[in-house]
Amino acid sequence: MTTYRVHKLTKRVYLLRLDDTDTRFFEGIWPIPEGITYNAYIVTTSEGAILIDGWKREFSDLFVEALESVIDLKDIKKIIVHHTEPDHTGSIEILLRLLGNIELLGTQFAKSMLEGFLGRALPFFKPLKDSEKISLGDVELIFLHTPWLHWPDTAMTYYPEEKVLFTCDAFGGYSIPRTVVDSSDDVISEYLPHARDYFANIVAKYSQHVIKAVDKLVSIGIDYKIIAPGHGLVWVNKPDIIVKSYLAWARGERFGGKFKVVIIYSSMYGNVERMISSIVRRLEEQDIELRIYKFTDKTHSNKSDVLGDAIDADLIILGASTYEGSLNPLIDSIVSMICTKFKGLRKRFIIISSYGWAPSADKELTKRLSEAGMEILKNVTYKGRPDKKLIDNISEEIYKIVNELRKA
């Protein structure tokens, strides 16, 4: 059931977290059976409160209820808009109705985009410069431009006195963590795969901007002790874990763990699956992490998880059935997403494909992956059902490739 939690994070900062179990497809695209949270924050000052971000529009009434559990609504003097995607700004409309033309703060892009989303001019929206100070009573915040995390409008805010960095989409993740902060190693290890899925689905296309933003935070001396994102866990104990994880994913690398092989395949009548099953049996003999995603007549894997596991894989084995003289449309869709979102990450691939009358799937995969700068280590295509000799040979070859890569 969708519900919310209010949590006092520091002397001045409150977290308002909406635990959304209603949304099944984030952005209408990504399956999230694990749910998602939206985190808004209130910073209290001697002269009223600053609200940072918000929730999705459909939860506006709950948002007002949560706000009123902490402060008198009339005490909100400023609203910081880090990012205008409606999962964070949908609740602004009700606040504008209740509070009138309250001061909105964000980037120039955010002003323009929010005007588009709300369908009205917002003359009381004040665009802020990079590193501009936001002052209210005895509190001073620093507004930081961090574009493309995950839209051109995005920014972060730093509260130096309590060393809190509010980051919106950056350093966020899917799921509804059982605690609001990184309270234990168990909570962190449960959560990180969901953060990685979110990164791969939502942020990965802008990986270079993640690296730039972290470089910027370091170069200007942002000495954060708390990372307070717009989704998922708030990091009060081990904030470097999420920052280092994001940096690793932005480079297409693992943050710890074993050598990882991800197998993604489609199989219409078992001819691809027959080969893949043998490869899996052989690879299981090695001390590696092996993740398998399939699109068959029995099951379809969750596409959010496929991308999440692929982004930090050491090797991806793509198995594709040929379909109507071209690529199986389900693999086509996965490969399109990989090539768009992981472009430049130079992931390593092995291609396995089966065909009836035209060996076209492997050609299409080779073309697409090469154009996206991926590395293709091996390409195997065969007509119809593979025989035992071919299966044994290919399984052995792939076993050796993985073994070599692990040692490299």
Rule CB under 6 A: which residues touch ligand FEO? 83, 85, 87-88, 150, 169, 230-231
Amino acid at 129: K
Q: Which is nearer to ligand FEO, 87 or 197 (CB)?
A: 87
Residue 231 CB, nearest distance to ligand FEO (Å)?
A: 6
d(CA 306, CA 292): 9
Residue whose C-beta lies closest to ligand FEO: 85
Amino acid at 70: V
Residue 233 CB, nearest distance to ligand FEO (Å)?
A: 15
- Which strand (E) or helix (H) includes residue 401? helix 388-407
How many other CB atoms are found less than 10 A from the CB of residue 352?
Answer: 26
Residue 50 CB, nearest distance to ligand FEO (Å)?
A: 20
- Nearest CA to 26 out of 181, 250, 203, 192 is that of 203
Q: Measure the N-to-C terminal CA separation of the chain; round to a whole number of Å.
A: 48
Q: Which is nearer to ligand FEO, 230 or 308 (CB)?
A: 230
Q: Which is nearer to ligand FEO, 173 or 239 (CB)?
A: 173
Q: Which residue has the tokens 């901007």?
A: 209
Q: Which is nearer to ligand FEO, 235 or 355 (CB)?
A: 235
How many other CB atoms are found less than 10 A from the CB of residue 108?
Answer: 14
Residue 41 CB, nearest distance to ligand FEO (Å)?
A: 14
d(CA 63, CA 333): 36
Residue 209 CB, nearest distance to ligand FEO (Å)?
A: 13
d(CA 134, CA 80): 9
Residue 82 CB, nearest distance to ligand FEO (Å)?
A: 9
d(CA 202, CA 199): 5
Q: 263 near 292, Cβ under 8 Å?
A: yes
d(CA 376, CA 350): 6
Q: Strand locations in 81-138, DSSP E?
A: 103-106, 125-127, 133-136
Q: Which is nearer to ligand FEO, 40 or 335 (CB)?
A: 40
Q: Which is nearer to ligand FEO, 231 or 282 (CB)?
A: 231
Q: Which is nearer to ligand FEO, 83 or 194 (CB)?
A: 83
- Which strand (E) or helix (H) includes residue 133? strand 133-136
Residue 232 CB, nearest distance to ligand FEO (Å)?
A: 10
